[in-house]
Amino acid sequence: MKYQIVGGAGLHRSETKTVDMMVKQLPDSWFGYAGLVVTDSQGSMEIDTLIITADRLLLVELKEWNGNITYEGGKWLQNGKPRGKSPYQIKREHALRLKD
Q: What is the pLDDT of residues 26-51, one digit of tens each?
A: 999 999 998 889 999 999 998 989 99
Write down the pTM of the prediction. Answer: 0.81
Domain ranges of the chain: 2-99
The pLDDT assigned to 94 comes to 94
Contact 22, 49 (CB under 8 A): yes
Alpha carbons 94 and 89: distance in angstroms, whole number: 9
Q: State phi, psi for 14 to the nearest 5 degrees.
A: -65, -35
Number of H helices, E strands in the chain: 2, 7
The pLDDT assigned to 9 comes to 66
Q: Where are the beta strands (DSSP E) in the chain?
A: 2-5, 31-40, 43-52, 57-60, 69-72, 75-78, 81-85
Regions of the chain where pLDDT drops below 70 = 8-9
Give SS3 for 89: helix
